[in-house]
DNA sequence: TTCCGGTATCTACCATACAAGATTGCGGAA
DNA sequence: TTCCGCAATCTTGTATGGTAGATACCGGAA
């Protein structure tokens, strides 16, 4: 259960190291294949080896690090098959979510989604790609909340970290217009209480990640297994 | 990203402690709400506090323990809503899997499934409930393998730990005949290459867990949040 | 009896030291 | 030059001591 469970608070040193390292990894400051060591990171953050070691354990369980006992610890390379199956998991869950939402839409469901899309259009117009990315996540997360399974989104989020690394490599706006159009189509199907159309639109929306992945693999082969 | 990723090997003491504690928890030897401590477990297994501490971290990330800093560590109580959402996740993925398998069944798919069901009937006849449970898992795992997403099953498996605790409380054979009949229905739909029927049969099969959960909550309220 | 405060004792957290396996590189022999 | 073996030096794993915070208990005052 809960992979990224309750480590949101950064009370302890170990938690802080986890947050810092995870950020470095998903932003590609630490690249797949990079070798790191407990002493190295400990010195870098001015703490003992102990909290760093615990951070390594957490990140290894999240699939970002690979601890090779008595040898070294490396930033895990991205597994194409793992990403593919993560996408399968995400599509399975999000399709079920959108069916629920479109099947029994709450009174304000369509309104909330339209509001988010408007924000995305604003972010896109301002060329604020970071905000756009956050709003994109929020759109999907909101769908999970509307379906009453927000916890399921946390699961997707954990698995999305791998693909986020890929996304960071291709930080071009990557046709945000198209994503917005697809979001509109999904929201419209929800407004019409049309589960079948909503499912089709969601599948088409998620299918784009496949193209992104394949292109990135050929662009950065060293970062993949 | 594998939550229960590569800790199958029990090379280190920490790994052994993880395996031992997890077994104690899912078999209800350690009950939800039980308070444990690093020193306690360390003394019990004859190791230092350090490996135990790391085991706690791993089990906490798997949702089996709750570490309360500077206070204590307790065996996490079962969250009914968490179990419900885990079931949602499982159903989403397994439905997608069965659609794939029934939509494009491999040449020997139906034969493999029939073989497993035959084994289950033998186990049921021998009243070997443990073996029956293992074969039940294998049936679902095999479907994932046939769909080419065996990794997705690992995810379900991680989330299933919570429900396994519940299941252990109700260790009656719990109508294995009925489960076998449902498996047969699923396998038959795969044999006919009939995705719609297969999906319906799978949903009905998984829906039984909901009844089991509600009954167990009323029988053992102390073990739930 | 009830309530409040101080203290003993518990907890997880962190730092440090040591142990043991794995790697690297250097030097000598063929 | 090439190859083999040993040793220095990495790495993670484990043990232990000390620290800060939270809890529980116990005694005294109202």
The pLDDT value given to residue A45: 95
How far is A38 from chain B, CA to nearest CA, in Å? Answer: 15
Estimate in Å the CA A35 to C1' C23 gap, whole number. 14
A190, two tokens: 């929800």
Residues A181-199: tens digit of each pLDDT: 999 999 999 999 999 999 9
Is a pLDDT exceeding 70 seen at residue B7?
A: no
Q: How far apart are CA B105 and CA B121, in angstroms?
A: 24
Per residue in A139-185, pLDDT (tens digit) is: 999 999 999 999 888 888 888 888 888 888 876 646 788 889 999 99
Check the CA dihedral B104-A218-A210-A82 and report its sign. Answer: positive
Using DSSP bridges, classify how beta strands A65-68 and A72-75 pair: parallel, antiparallel or unpaired. Answer: antiparallel
Strands ordered across the beta sheet of A65-68: A35-36, A72-75, A65-68
Nearest to B41 by CA among B22, B17, B25: B17
The Cα of A145 is separated from the nearest Cα of chain B by a number of Å equal to: 12
pLDDT for B217: 87
- Cα separation, A208 vs B118, whole angstroms: 42
In the prediction, which pLDDT does B160 show?
A: 81
Strand D at less than 7 A from CB of A170: no
The pLDDT score that the predictor gives to residue A177 is: 85
Task: Report CA-CA distances (Å) from B27 to A188, B31, B84.
Answer: 48, 9, 20
Structural Rg of chain B based on CA atoms: 19
CA distances from residue B152 to A61, B30, B87, B140, B144 in whole angstroms, order as listed: 16, 28, 14, 11, 7
Task: Retrieve residue B77's tokens.
Answer: 């109580």
Nearest CA in chain B to A50: B50
Q: State residue B66's pLDDT score.
A: 96
Q: Which residue of A has its CA nearest to B83?
A: A1
User: How many CB atoms neighbour CB A179 within 10 A?
Assistant: 20
Could you report the per-residue pLDDT of A127-143, keeping only the tens digit for each?
888 898 889 999 999 99
Across residues A109-138, what is the average pLDDT?
Answer: 91
pLDDT of B4 higher than 80: no
Average of per-residue pLDDT across A206-221 = 87
Determine, for residues A152 and B91 on separate chains, whether the beta-carbon distance falls below 8 Å: no
**Nearest alpha-carbon partner for A113 in A172, A192, A177, A175:** A192
pLDDT recorded at residue B3:
41
Residue B1: band (very low, low, confident or very high) from pLDDT cuts 50, 70, 90? very low
CA B149/CA B145 separation, integer angstroms? 6
Task: Give dist(CA A10, CA A8) in Å, integer.
Answer: 6
Region for A175 from its dihedrals, namely left if φ exceeds 0, alpha if ψ lies in -120 to 50, beta otherwise: left
- DSSP one-letter code for B224: B
Please state, for a pLDDT cut of 70, what percent of chain B lies above it.
Answer: 94
Q: State the pLDDT at residue B213.
A: 82
Determine the distance in angstroms separating the CA of A158 from the nearest CA of chain B, rounded to an integer: 8
* DSSP assignment letter at B33: T
How far apart are alpha carbons A17 and A12 in whole angstroms? 9
Separation of alpha carbons A218 and A68, rounded Å = 28
Model confidence pLDDT, tens digit, residues B162-221: 878 888 877 664 678 888 999 999 999 999 999 999 999 999 999 987 887 888 888 898
Domains of chain B with CATH codes: 13-75 (1.10.10.10), 80-223 (1.20.120.530)
Residue A210, pLDDT score: 82
Residues B80-102 have pLDDT tens digits of 888 888 889 999 999 999 999 99
Shortest CB distance from A92 goes to which of B81, B92, B161? B92
| SS3 (DSSP) at B68 | strand
CB B177 within 8 A of CB B124: yes
Mean pLDDT of chain B: 89
Residue A5 and residue A87: Cα distance in Å, rounded?
21
Residues with CB under 7 A from strand C: A 12-14, 47-51, 54, 70-71; B 36-40, 49-50, 53, 56, 67-73
Assigned token pair, B26: 């899912």
Q: How far apart are CA A95 and CA A69, in angstroms?
A: 40
For the CA atoms of B210, A206, A28, B2, the dihedral, rounded to the nearest 10 degrees, stands at 30
pLDDT of residue B171: 64
Q: How long is the CA A35 to C1' C30 vector, in angstroms?
A: 37
Contact between residue A138 and residue A116 where contact means Cβ atoms under 8 Å apart: yes
pLDDT score, position A6: 41
């Amino acid at each position: 259960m809960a992979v990224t469970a309750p480590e949101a608070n950064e009370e302890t040193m170990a938690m802080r190291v986890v947050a810092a390292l995870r950020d470095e990894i998903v932003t590609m400051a630490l690249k797949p294949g990079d070798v790191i060591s407990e002493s190295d990171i400990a010195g870098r953050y001015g703490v003992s080896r102990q909290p760093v070691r615990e951070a390594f354990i957490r990140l290894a369980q999240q699939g970002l690090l690979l601890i090779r006992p008595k040898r070294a610890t490396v930033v895990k390379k991205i597994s194409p098959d793992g990403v593919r199956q993560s996408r399968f998991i995400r599509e399975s869950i999000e399709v079920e979510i959108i069916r629920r939402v479109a099947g029994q839409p709450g009174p304000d469901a369509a309104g909330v989604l339209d509001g988010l899309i408007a924000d995305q259009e604003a972010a896109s117009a301002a060329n604020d790609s970071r905000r756009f990315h956050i709003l994109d996540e929020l759109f999907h997360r909101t769908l999970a909340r509307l379906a009453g399974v927000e916890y399921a989104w946390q699961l997707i989020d954990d698995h999305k970290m791998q693909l986020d690394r890929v996304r960071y490599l291709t930080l071009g706006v990557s046709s945000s217009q198209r994503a917005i159009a697809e979001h509109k189509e999904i929201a419209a199907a929800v407004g019409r209480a049309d589960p079948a159309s909503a499912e089709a639109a969601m599948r088409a929306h998620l299918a784009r990640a496949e193209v992104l992945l394949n292109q990135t693999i050929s662009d950065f082969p060293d970062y993949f297994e």
